[in-house]
Amino acid sequence: MVKSHEKKGNDSIRQLDERLLELSSLFEISRSLTASLSIHSILENILRIPMGHMLISRGVVLIKKDPEGDYVLEELKGLPRNLIGKTLTMDNPPSRALLLKDIKDPDDWAEFFREFNIELVLPLNSSQGAIGIIGFGEKIGAQKFTERELEFLDSLSNIAASAVSNGIMVEEIRRVNRNLDRKVQQLNTIFDISRELNITLDKKKIVSLLSFAVMGELIVNKCMVLMRKNQEMELLVSKGLDAEIDSGLSLCEIAEPVFPDESPRFRSFHDLGLKVLVPMRIHDETRGILAVGPKLSGVPFDEAEKEFLKTLGNQAMTSLENARLFEEALEKQRMEEELNLARSIQQGLLPSELPQVTGFQIAAQNIPSREIGGDYFDVFRIDEDRLVVAIADVSGKGAGAALLMANLQAGLHAFVLTGIGLQEMVTRINDLIFQNTALDKFITFFIGILDVKERTLSYCNAGHNPPYQVTKKGDIRELMTGGIILGMLQNVTYETATLSLESGDRFVMYTDGITEAMNENEEEFGEERLQSLIRSDTKDAASMLKRIIEAVQSFGGGAPQSDDITLVVLDIL
């Protein structure tokens, strides 16, 4: 009887010792778990402590990663480390501790654990719901888990769930902080680069700053910048690449980052080792491409890095566009200066005053178009009895046409002073123009020599719009005699003609800026309208000139003047 009481007492003491051991183990686990905020350390202690106390052969911890029910193996012991990261989908995870041998219905998640010889699974449940699964293998010696051990491990899972939840939260906070730190660094980089970009209009410097910023921030060793030119891409910079890309590829439609290894269209970029193509956009239009190689760390580009590349690329594109507009402004200014020079040359070659001759009236006017053309007229004395009346139209526009007109004017004045005849004079002028111009440059030219004493007009028409002679009776005659336009062929013989002048005769000389003037319906003023005007009765040459010019301008309406207008009217009194 005494021995029976002693045995019961010993059993009670042993049970009490076991309880104390369990409590001390739970206390140790709780202290270990709460002592660290590292999720890795927490998961390691969840397995290490119970496995050491109970001599368990293996253990795993899976953490729920998304609401869809995907669990990822985050920590293990007694199993190969390469299993970490393996994913398990659990639609109906266990809500309490379960021995796999007690699960009768087939379940994919149970088979997952059986594959790794896991015998016991315990849920990690926090206030937010299921956050993970703990799994333990058999005990060394193939001993079965007792009810007390199961209770102990169930208590462990409850304690661990809170620690794991805190660890996940801390890890998320650290991840957010890391991302914020990286964002701050990227924003500082963008700010610094933007400041540098805003103070330069050098296109080469802009793309150099962009490429070095990208390579330095993301730690890559390959970078390429292309900019749209017409509908193709022009290579601006290539760093770390041995070959050039086919810039003729259609890249303008790219609106979001593209990965060349995912699209056969961009295989050439992939072959060069480029990993991402980022559009450089302005005004919702892709104007350039920033192509970047892999990060030296081997880690893929994440969303934050792609956003960084887009922001930096767009900022650089704005600077490149400003540089382009600045270059265009400089070019426009240069062209404007050239046009002003041409206008000055052109206007300087035209007579500022017309000679006054008894028995004759002369009126002339030149109205330049928006662009510099090559219209020319001249009226000057040879001697007391003779005057030169000339009109010409030089092909082309701009300073080139004005300079060619200057050549004509200088040649005309020089040859007139030599005293040679009209026919030889025009021939020499033609040879001069031929020798000093390209084949695509030429001049239509009409010259008349008015003899005020003999009252005659000798003339030669070198391919110019035929001037009109209007008699007192209203008959119209075109002055056609002459030859081909100046500057086309050398050693050309020109014909001349001499007209006797009578009181009431009127001569109208013009350039094609009058007859080819167009209205808003793209209709030309034409020769018929001009002939109708010059038949009308006006009291003097100046009135006729004014009437013709007003008619042409009225006909044009709102249409811009596309060519110079030059008109000379000679009345015989």
pLDDT in tens, the chain (573 residues): 545 555 555 555 555 555 555 566 666 666 666 656 677 888 888 888 888 888 898 999 999 887 777 899 999 999 999 999 898 888 778 888 888 888 776 667 888 888 888 989 989 888 778 888 999 998 888 788 888 888 888 888 887 787 888 877 877 777 777 767 667 676 666 676 777 777 777 888 888 888 888 888 888 989 988 888 777 788 888 888 876 666 555 677 788 888 888 888 888 888 888 889 988 888 888 888 888 999 888 888 888 888 888 888 888 888 888 888 888 888 888 878 877 777 777 777 788 889 989 999 999 999 887 666 678 999 999 999 999 999 999 887 767 777 788 889 999 999 998 889 999 999 999 999 998 887 778 899 999 999 999 999 999 999 999 999 999 888 999 999 999 999 999 999 999 999 999 999 999 999 998 999 888 888 899 999 999 999 887 789 999 999 999 999 988 887 777 788 899 999 998
Residues 6+ apart with CB under 8 A from 260: 266, 267, 269, 270, 274, 275, 276, 277
Query: pLDDT value at position 505?
Result: 94
Q: What is the dihedral of CA 564, 506, 378, 382, to 10 degrees?
A: 170
Quote the crossing angle between the two packed helices 526-535 and 541-556, to the nearest 10°: 150
Query: pLDDT value at position 33?
Result: 61
What is the amino acid identity at position 474?
G
- Inter-CA distances, 40 with 76, 79, 500, Å: 11, 17, 116
Helix (H, G, I), strand (E, B) or coil at 409: helix
Query: pLDDT value at position 381?
Result: 94
> Is residue 119 within 8 Å of residue 100, measured between CB atoms?
yes
Rounded to the nearest 5 percent, the helix, strand and coil shares of the chain are: 45, 25, 30
Rounded to an integer, what distance in angstroms lies between the CA atom of residue 247 and that of residue 227? 9
Residue 158: HSE in the Cβ half-sphere, 13 Å Cα cutoff:
10
Rounded to an integer, what distance in angstroms lies between the CA atom of residue 392 and that of residue 514? 13
Q: What is the dihedral of CA 512, 513, 517, 522, to 10 degrees?
A: 70
The domains found in the chain, sorted by start residue, are 13-172 (3.30.450.40), 200-326 (3.30.450.40), 351-572 (3.60.40.10)
Question: Closest Cα partner for 130 from 172, 175, 86, 67?
Answer: 67
DSSP code of 81? G
> Is residue 173 within 8 Å of residue 37, measured between CB atoms?
no
The alpha carbon of residue 340 and the mean position of all alpha carbons in its chain are separated, in whole angstroms, by 33
Query: pLDDT value at position 65?
Result: 83
Q: What is the dihedral of CA 485, 488, 492, 493, to 10 degrees?
A: -10
Order of all β-strands in the sheet with 98-99: 87-89, 70-77, 59-64, 129-137, 118-126, 98-99
Query: pLDDT value at position 250?
Result: 66
Rounded to an integer, what distance in angstroms lies between the CA atom of residue 402 and that of residue 371? 11
Start-to-end CA distance of the chain, whole Å, equals 168
Token digits for 102? Answer: 């007690």
Q: What is the dihedral of CA 409, 414, 417, 419, to 10 degrees?
A: -100
Rounded to an integer, what distance in angstroms lies between the CA atom of residue 9 and that of residue 372? 123
Rounded to an integer, what distance in angstroms lies between the CA atom of residue 159 and that of residue 32? 11
Query: pLDDT value at position 430?
Result: 94
Rounded to an integer, what distance in angstroms lies between the CA atom of residue 531 and that of residue 470? 9
